[in-house]
């Protein structure tokens, strides 16, 4: 009896040590693995469509891998020089811009005091300088860390390929590790699939599309530094409630102050079209069965951003959503929860 007990303790200790060592081993590339899994989820419908025609898992996954490589490398190759050039322009302009004069014209009574105006101008100048410095540093780090980024991209593509090709075996293996009953297991995976689709397609993909629509307006009406503004609009579009208005409304204000009325109206039209895309496209590409509260998504994105960086836009809401799924299964009630709704 003591021998069996000792063996169990020894096995548990060895397993715990191996898990810790494996985590430390994978920690530098853990986010790349997660990116690969998320991309596999996004491109899974395309893979299923290709597989019907090719009837080969390897060929279908390889073709989509090549497509993804082109989708990433070509924009990086052509747009990186433009991004660097525009970031330098923004940094130079931010050092010379007068923040107080436009505010004095809009709010003359508020900025009547010279001391108050100078203080606000100093704060705004410091904030904008930090932001532009951060942008410049990010771009320079991308160039300097190219070898490390290349290895991370390799991990992303290998993960993407194998998850896409062997997802059925992977799901079966994960199910075999879960300590739940078959009924709970089925509910867990169905809810997880619905929530993941809701966050990735309904929030991230649509948000990026909204940012691109605003970006088209920036380019058509020749807004300065349109490429960087488009990237910022795409990131802002991912946030629920806030959306692309965080970018295009300040641009409109800037254009009006500069006297460019026609471009300002044009950008406003594209901004309104971008904001209305959500109402038309979301019901088409996202299942109505599972809905997560937008405030929870927003909180998850902000928390995820602090913890995981830019990837936290996706990981934060998903982590909170999976927690809620388990809590909803634990509640085992027909009435929906306040943060999550299940539709028949």
Q: What is the pLDDT of residues 281-322, one digit of tens each?
A: 766 555 554 566 677 777 888 888 888 877 787 788 888 888
Lowest mean pLDDT among 48-52, 192-196, 222-226, 336-340: 336-340
State the average pLDDT over residues 250-263.
82
pLDDT tens-digit map of 168-189: 888 888 877 777 777 777 777 7
Helix, strand, coil share of the chain (percent; to 5): 85, 0, 15
pLDDT one-digit tens code per residue, 119-168: 777 777 777 777 777 766 766 666 677 778 888 889 998 999 999 888 88
Rounded to an integer, what is the distance from CA 80 to the centroid of its chain? 20
> To which H or E segment does residue 167 belong?
helix 167-177
Residues paired with residue 155 on neighbouring β-strands, in sequence order: none
| pLDDT at position 329 over 50 | yes
Q: For residue 241, how many other CB atoms are within 10 A of its CB? A: 9
Question: CA-based Rg of the chain, rounded to a whole angstrom?
Answer: 25
Q: What contacts 24+ positions apart, CB below 8 Å, involve 335-344?
A: 338/293, 339/292, 339/293, 339/296, 340/195, 340/290, 340/291, 340/292, 340/293, 341/290, 341/291, 342/191, 342/289, 342/290, 343/288, 343/289, 343/290, 343/291, 344/289
Closest CA to 248 of 211, 292, 299: 211
pLDDT in tens, 208-255: 888 899 999 998 988 888 888 888 888 888 877 777 888 888 888 878
Please state whether the predicted TM-score (pTM) of the whole model is above 0.85.
no
**Checking DSSP bridges between strand 340-342 and strand 290-292, what pairing results, if any?**
antiparallel
Residue 160: the pLDDT is 92
Average pLDDT over every residue of 266-277: 86
Is residue 340 helix, strand or coil?
strand
């Amino acid at each position: 009896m003591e021998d069996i007990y000792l063996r169990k303790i020894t096995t548990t200790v060895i397993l715990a040590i191996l898990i810790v060592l494996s985590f430390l081993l994978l920690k530098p590339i853990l986010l790349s693995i997660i990116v690969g899994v998320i991309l596999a989820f996004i491109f899974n419908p395309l893979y299923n469509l290709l597989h019907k025609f090719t009837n080969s898992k390897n060929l279908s996954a390889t073709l989509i891998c090549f497509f993804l490589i082109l989708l990433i490398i070509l924009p990086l190759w052509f747009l990186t020089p433009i991004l660097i050039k525009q970031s330098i322009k923004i940094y130079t302009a931010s050092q010379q811009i007068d923040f107080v004069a436009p505010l004095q014209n809009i709010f003359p009574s508020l900025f009547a005091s010279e001391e108050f105006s100078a203080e606000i101008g100093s704060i705004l100048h410091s904030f904008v300088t930090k932001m532009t410095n951060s942008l410049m540093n990010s771009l320079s780090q991308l160039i300097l860390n190219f070898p490390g980024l290349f290895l991370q991209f390799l991990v992303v593509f290998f993960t993407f390929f194998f998850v896409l090709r062997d997802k059925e075996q992977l799901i079966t293996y994960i199910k075999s590790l879960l300590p739940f009953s078959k009924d709970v297991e089925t509910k867990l995976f169905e809810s997880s699939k619905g929530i993941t689709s809701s966050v990735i397609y309904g929030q991230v993909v649509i948000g990026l599309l909204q940012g691109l629509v605003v970006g088209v307006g920036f380019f058509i009406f020749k807004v300065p530094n349109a490429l960087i503004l488009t990237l910022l609009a795409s990131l802002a579009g991912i946030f629920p409630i806030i959306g692309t208005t965080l970018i295009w409304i300040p641009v409109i204000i800037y254009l009006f102050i500069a006297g460019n009325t026609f471009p300002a109206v044009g950008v406003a039209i594209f901004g309104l079209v971008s904001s209305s895309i959500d109402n038309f496209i979301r019901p088409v590409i996202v299942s109505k069965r599972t809905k997560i509260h937008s405030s929870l998504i927003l909180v998850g994105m902000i928390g995820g951003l602090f913890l995981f960086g830019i990837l936290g836009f996706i990981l934060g809401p998903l982590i909170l959503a999976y927690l809620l799924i388990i809590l909803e299964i634990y509640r085992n009630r027909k009435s929906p929860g306040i943060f999550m709704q299940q539709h028949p």
